[in-house]
Structure 1
Amino acid sequence: MAVQPEGAPCWADAMFSDVEGAKSFYGDVLGWTFGESSSEYGNYTQAYADGKAVAAVVPPMPGQEGQSQWCLYLASADASATAAKIREHGGELLMEPMQVGEFGSMCLAREPSGAVFGVWQAGTHEGFETMGTPGAYAWCEVFTREPEKADAFFSAVFGYRQHRLEGEEMDFRLYDLGDRPLLGRLRMTDDFPPEVPSYVNVYFTVPDCDDAVAKATKLGAVLRSSPMTTPFGRFAALTDPQGADLSVIDVDTTEGEMPTTTEV
């Protein structure tokens, strides 16, 4: 795939204390295969779906052991310039911009309401080689307890337009750059345990949501939200055996009409 436009989701990875366990879990649930780990880059190991790069897993760096979490990267033409915007608009840099060999440049940040995300400036590694296909990235949503902060920040840094979903009980917005929705933003309600911080929830595509949930829970995942069919697909929310939250979605199984949106 070509390099994604500024602000578009372009890559995802996660740190796992038990990398082999993660490879086994995601291999069974999402059908991933894995490349050779790169010792030069902290044993970073790329995952593939049908031979195309879709994500990566890596052991934690010293001092970063703990619960795993998927990190979504947003595309940037200049990671240093994006980092400056992040600071300017109240975000926190967790990792300063750094060059990753010939692959590209990156930084890690936390937006003002608490969700962590990455920024990726492509070099030879352009990001996802496929999206919306079985095993690949499908969608993402910022889950936040302070949506006003997240809305202001992401629009200021990446220039997103925002659309509110009409007729929905939940507080949900779509962020886009004018041609297509890029990610969603959901206000976290009391349904979320108080200890759960704001985070970015990544959806991976599966051919059958119920089958993926059955495989995942058999392997020790926790089902957070039972499979439900929507106009966007049939999806469910899970926490993997090492604590990383994710959702799985069958984009071909849909029900109902697409909701209307209003620009805000």
Structure 2
Amino acid sequence: MAVQPEGAPCWADAMFGDVEAAKSFYGDVLGWTFGESSSEYGNYTQAYADGKAVAAVVPPMPGQEEGPAQWCLYLASRDAAATAARIREAGGEVVMEPMQVGDYGTMCLARDPSGVVFGVWQGGTHEGFEAMAEPGAYCWAEVFTREPGKSDAFFPQVFSYKSKQMEDDGVDFRLFDLGDRTVLGRMAMGDDFPPEVPPYINVYFTVPDCDAAVARATERGGVLRFGPMDTPFGRFAALSDPQGAAFSVIDITTTEGEMPKITDVA
């Protein structure tokens, strides 16, 4: 795939206390196969869909064994150090300073002012997703936050997004565009989210059959959080895997309903 423009989602990984269990679960639910773990880089293990790199799993680093499992979305950067500086200027926090990962690229981890953790990736030999919107591959992501105003101000300041708002009295949903391409959503967390659930980025993976994927996930110990539901964008469901990491599955070939009205935000 072509290198993603600055601010576009380009990679996803997750840290699991039991990596082998995670590989078994996602292999069954999403059809992933896995490469050899890289002991030089903390046993980082890439996942493949139809032979194309689509994500990675990794065990916790020493001292982080008690942390919850969670998917991390990486946004593309031409210069990770410059992006880290903009993150600070916009009121965010750099959780992990830019770090070169061999010749693969440079990464950093950050937190927006509302508490949403995300990654930044300056690609080297590893440019990111080798497939998107194909079965087993990344498709979409949304920032879930209890303080939408903070996220709405932060992300466009860091990545030059243009903002659009969905016209829907029942939900506070915003879209971030790069040029003529919508790259990220933002959902306000309401009272239906338990207070102990922190803000996060929800990553969607493409599946050929949403209901079948949900059935496999729940049979393997996953928890269905929402759906399956038909939308103009596809039939999707929100899940948690057996180790607690939230993710969604979507069948983009099964669509229903009219596209919502969306207005530009000045």
Q: Is TM more than 0.5 here?
A: yes
Deviation at 1:168, TM superposition (A): 4.7
Q: Give the structure 2 partner of residue 46 of structure 1.
A: 46
- In the alignment, the residues of structure 2 paired with residue 70 and residue 211 of structure 1 have an alpha-carbon distance, to the nearest angstrom, of 22
Q: Give the structure 2 partner of residue 144 of structure 1.
A: 145
Q: Give the structure 2 partner of residue 20 of structure 1.
A: 20
Asked if 1:222 corresponds to 2:223, the answer is yes
Percent identity over the alignment is 78
Q: Give the structure 1 partner of residue 173 of structure 2.
A: 172
Stretch deviating more after TM superposition (174-183 or 129-138): 174-183
Aligned length: 264
- In the alignment, the residues of structure 1 paired with residue 199 and residue 167 of structure 2 have an alpha-carbon distance, to the nearest angstrom, of 23
Pairwise CA RMSD: 0.6
Where does the alignment leave 5 or more consecutive residues of structure 1 unmatched?
A: none
Q: Give the structure 2 partner of residue 182 of structure 1.
A: 183
**Counterpart secondary structure, 1:62:** coil
- Give the AA of the match of 1:11: W
**Counterpart secondary structure, 1:202:** strand
Q: Give the structure 1 partner of residue 241 of structure 2.
A: 240
Q: Give the structure 1 partner of residue 118 of structure 2.
A: 117
- Give the AA of the match of 1:256: G
- Give the AA of the match of 1:202: V
Deviation at 1:210, TM superposition (A): 0.3
- In the alignment, the residues of structure 2 paired with residue 179 and residue 132 of structure 1 have an alpha-carbon distance, to the nearest angstrom, of 18
Deviation at 1:180, TM superposition (A): 1.1
Deviation at 1:178, TM superposition (A): 2.1
Alignment of 1:1-264 (within 5 A): 1-65=1-65, 66-264=67-265
Deviation at 1:179, TM superposition (A): 1.3
- In the alignment, the residues of structure 2 paired with residue 167 and residue 100 of structure 1 have an alpha-carbon distance, to the nearest angstrom, of 43
**Counterpart secondary structure, 2:154:** helix
- Give the AA of the match of 1:149: K
- In the alignment, the residues of structure 2 paired with residue 148 and residue 159 of structure 1 have an alpha-carbon distance, to the nearest angstrom, of 16
Stretch deviating more after TM superposition (162-171 or 7-16): 162-171
Query: Relative to 1, partners in 2 of residues 1:87 and 1:64: Cα closer, same or farther, differing over 3 Å?
Result: same
Deviation at 1:121, TM superposition (A): 0.2
- In the alignment, the residues of structure 1 paired with residue 2 and residue 107 of structure 2 have an alpha-carbon distance, to the nearest angstrom, of 18
- Give the AA of the match of 1:220: G
- In the alignment, the residues of structure 1 paired with residue 63 and residue 72 of structure 2 have an alpha-carbon distance, to the nearest angstrom, of 18
